[in-house]
Chain A
């Protein structure tokens, strides 16, 4: 068998057997692990899909204000299967944000951000912010009315701050208003600044998970970790399952579901993420009716509209963002199980409901 020959060759060079053993079978996961523990790998798969489809789009996309719109139109109409890769990229961006958000919510509910996993949570939080920045910077690139005016609104946010606010806005736009300079800037950020940052954080995130070992979910049993933890101890789960194939199967299943949702949208609702303004070329002298951000920014957007003082509104959101990222240090309760923490549960449900209400409200 040729397969065995390759295996033997690699075995001599890199000690393949031992490597696979330590990374796949001796790496153990808790017994009561479920599909929610596989959401992180769905987010990772979502990111890789974005990278691959994005590289293919870059082959035909022209990052220049006079060509951007037309080149995107050509991808959609003239390039063979260009419509497919653009749809994968657009639908994939929305699905990736969904996956990342779900991953964050489930980890929060399981209390898995607690000591010793604070760094993993912070890395994930920063990655979530970068995911939103990906959405924000990519949004301008097709150079449509929608992208132009949404970017105008977003880049005007810093003006609420005294002293440096105006400068920050000019820096983001590369001028007094959104122009071709902004487009080039956003393109550079979208394709060459954010990806390496994201990759590094992802490497750290996954390395930390492997180094510390997966947390036992608190549902149905008390977590056996003796707190406070004053020394490093890797959780090895000798009573648990091998990562491969037990958790790996669940991850593959979830990734297949992700693809299923993606291609269902592309097939049965191809215009789902393309409102009318998304097919009109950008016009700097005409603001379209009812301009509003993407669905994942609707809640913060509505909150800004509700708070009369712009400075107050944005400061509040930045404070909330910091609370979110440094949450493991603010939550000092030892109890992981959210079912035994009525106050946290109440706050969580309140946040969820208010988010949904704000989102609906912001649609108008």
Chain B
């Protein structure tokens, strides 16, 4: 190996090392920062949501709707439509959820009834403990 090619290789290694030592922090810096309160449980009072009523909460920075379904108890569903991410609305009188963007409809279990959504709405864990609802 000639001295010249050795030096070239050395410079290539050192240069790559110094560039990547800057590039790595840059990429990490620009990546979305993690939320500070991941999986933080939300506690609601049962009496606040009458039968047929609903309440919108934020869980993991995402909107979640808690519905007191007539005859079937509480459920917590993600409000984000699985089609293109609009927020679904609860239609009390029709017992369904409808997305205003492309008219996708879901039943109160989150299953798709009609329209473009490819998947059912994700459920969020909900436990009833005495007078309280624990979401998460």
Interface segment, A3-11, A80-88, A171-179?
A80-88
- Do the beta carbons of B33 and A78 come within 8 Å of each other? yes
Indicate whether A56 reaches chain B with its CB closer than 8 angstroms: yes
Residues of B contacting A154 in the complex (Cβ-Cβ under 8 angstroms): none
Which chain B residue shows the least CB distance to A57?
A: B29
Indicate whether A207 reaches chain B with its CB closer than 8 angstroms: no
**What are 22 A-to-B residue pairs whose CB atoms are below 8 Å?**
A56-B26, A56-B29, A56-B30, A59-B30, A78-B33, A78-B36, A79-B29, A79-B33, A80-B25, A80-B28, A80-B29, A80-B31, A80-B33, A81-B25, A81-B26, A81-B28, A81-B29, A82-B29, A84-B25, A84-B29, A85-B25, A85-B29
A interface list, Cβ under 8 A from B? 56, 59, 78-82, 84-85
B interface list, Cβ under 8 A from A? 25-26, 28-31, 33, 36
Residues of B contacting A79 in the complex (Cβ-Cβ under 8 angstroms): 29, 33
A78 to B35, CA, bound (A): 10
Residues of A contacting B26 in the complex (Cβ-Cβ under 8 angstroms): 56, 81
Residues of B contacting A78 in the complex (Cβ-Cβ under 8 angstroms): 33, 36
Residues of A contacting B29 in the complex (Cβ-Cβ under 8 angstroms): 56, 79-82, 84-85
Residues of B contacting A56 in the complex (Cβ-Cβ under 8 angstroms): 26, 29-30
A84 to B27, CA, bound (A): 13
A271 to B26, CA, bound (A): 22
Distance of B128 from chain A, by nearest CB (Å): 35
Distance of A70 from chain B, by nearest CB (Å): 12
Residues of A contacting B30 in the complex (Cβ-Cβ under 8 angstroms): 56, 59
A85 to B29, CA, bound (A): 9
Distance of A3 from chain B, by nearest CB (Å): 14
What are the 3 closest A-B residue pairs judged by CB atoms, nearest first? A81-B25, A80-B28, A81-B29
A343 to B30, CA, bound (A): 56
A81 to B28, CA, bound (A): 7
Distance of A82 from chain B, by nearest CB (Å): 6
Distance of A48 from chain B, by nearest CB (Å): 13
A38 to B70, CA, bound (A): 80
Most B CB contacts (10 A, CB to CB) among A78, A81, A82, A85 go to A81
Residues of B contacting A59 in the complex (Cβ-Cβ under 8 angstroms): 30
Distance of B71 from chain A, by nearest CB (Å): 46
Which chain A residue shows the least CB distance to B18?
A: A259
Residues of B contacting A82 in the complex (Cβ-Cβ under 8 angstroms): 29
A23 to B25, CA, bound (A): 34
Distance of B70 from chain A, by nearest CB (Å): 44
A56 to B25, CA, bound (A): 11
Residues of A contacting B36 in the complex (Cβ-Cβ under 8 angstroms): 78
Give me 12 other A-B pairs in contact (C-beta within 8 A), A56-B29, A84-B29, A85-B25 excluded. A56-B26, A59-B30, A78-B33, A78-B36, A79-B33, A80-B25, A80-B28, A80-B29, A80-B31, A81-B26, A81-B28, A85-B29
Distance of A355 from chain B, by nearest CB (Å): 36
A59 to B29, CA, bound (A): 10
Residues of B contacting A81 in the complex (Cβ-Cβ under 8 angstroms): 25-26, 28-29
Residues of A contacting B31 in the complex (Cβ-Cβ under 8 angstroms): 80
A82 to B26, CA, bound (A): 9
Which chain A residue shows the least CB distance to B34?
A: A78
Residues of A contacting B33 in the complex (Cβ-Cβ under 8 angstroms): 78-80
A82 to B33, CA, bound (A): 11
A84 to B30, CA, bound (A): 13
A78 to B29, CA, bound (A): 10
Which chain A residue shows the least CB distance to B29?
A: A81
Most A CB contacts (10 A, CB to CB) among B25, B29, B30, B33 go to B29
A78 to B28, CA, bound (A): 12
Distance of A259 from chain B, by nearest CB (Å): 9
Which chain B residue shows the least CB distance to A84?
A: B25
A56 to B30, CA, bound (A): 8
